[in-house]
């Protein structure tokens, strides 16, 4: 079932939530809600189960590494700005962090689908719930998020909203290397919920973050 009212679920994440170090925001986003409004005024979405941090400095895997371009401009906008880019003919959604002028963001890699599974199935042409939102490209297709949404302010948008959910306990969070990158593979900037079936990629042999 879709969600009819956001207020039933929680309160919107604030600018201050995103205005923190990117790895902190990446961890803090686990357990929070991503919602997307449909044409009929109902909301689809689910719970964030996997994120990655892309840093402003000393991170050659980050799109911002060589400075602002037409594509990555949203990474430099105020914290809480949606950054949507296309890659491999798919879309990925991120949220900018830290402060305006600083090129950093958190990639939302996977959610646990909760509201509007039927609509997501239609968009994904896929019946298996586990294959609806398990990976950044799948997630954007299921929620119909594309490049036209790049630059949206998530604090005020009436199309896409991030709401506070249940914060996982520290021992439920695992960390490891980011997926699919060719640089800075040693950095443990991927975070996901232990034992969650909707996490993409490998989930074995990981540990809890130090802080």
Partner DNA sequence: TAAACGATCTGCT
Partner DNA sequence: GCAGATCGTTTAT
- Give me the residues that bind DNA (CB under 7 A), please: 52, 54, 61-64, 66, 69-72, 75, 83, 85-90, 92, 94, 105, 107, 124, 126, 131, 135-139, 141, 147, 178-182, 200
- Contact status, residue 64 vs residue 72, Cβ threshold 8 Å: yes
| Minimum CB distance to DNA, residue 167 (Å) | 23
Residue 66 C-beta: closest distance to DNA, Å: 5
Phi, psi at 184, each rounded to 5°: 55, 40
CB of 14 or CB of 202, closer to DNA: 202
Q: Measured from the CB atom, is 41 or 195 closer to DNA? A: 195
Residue with Cβ nearer DNA (83 or 191) = 83
Rounded least distance, CB 181 to DNA, Å: 5
72 contacts: CB under 8 Å, gap ≥ 6: 63, 64, 83, 85, 103
Closest CB 175 distance from DNA, rounded Å: 16
Contact between 62 and 76 under an 8 Å Cβ cutoff? The reply is no
Angle at 128 between CA 126 and CA 130, to 5 degrees: 115
Longest dimension (CA), the chain: 45
Q: Which of residues 148 and 166 has its CB atom nearest to DNA in the complex?
A: 148
Q: Of the two residues 77 and 178, which places its CB atom closer to DNA in the complex?
A: 178
* Residue 17 C-beta: closest distance to DNA, Å: 18
């Amino acid at each position: 079932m879709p969600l009819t009212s956001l207020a039933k679920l929680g309160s919107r994440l604030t600018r201050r939530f995103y205005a923190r170090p990117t790895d902190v925001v990446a961890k803090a986003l686990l357990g929070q809600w991503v919602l997307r409004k449909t044409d009929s005024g109902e909301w689809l979405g689910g719970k964030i189960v996997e994120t990655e941090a892309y840093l402003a400095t000393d991170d050659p895997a980050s799109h911002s590494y060589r400075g602002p371009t037409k594509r990555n401009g949203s990474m430099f906008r105020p914290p809480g700005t949606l950054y949507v880019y296309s890659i491999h003919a798919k879309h990925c959604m991120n949220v900018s962090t830290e402060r305006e002028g600083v090129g950093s963001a958190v990639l939302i890699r996977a959610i646990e689908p909760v509201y509007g599974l039927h609509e997501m199935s239609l968009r994904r042409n896929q019946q298996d719930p586990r294959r609806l939102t398990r990976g950044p490209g799948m997630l954007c297709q299921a929620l119909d998020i594309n490049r036209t949404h790049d630059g949206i302010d998530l604090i005020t948008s009436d199309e896409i909203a991030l709401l506070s959910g249940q914060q996982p306990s520290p021992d439920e969070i695992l960390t490891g290397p980011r997926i699919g990158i060719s640089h800075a593979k040693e950095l443990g900037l991927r975070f996901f919920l232990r034992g969650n079936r909707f996490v993409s990629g490998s989930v074995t042999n990981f540990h809890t973050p130090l802080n």
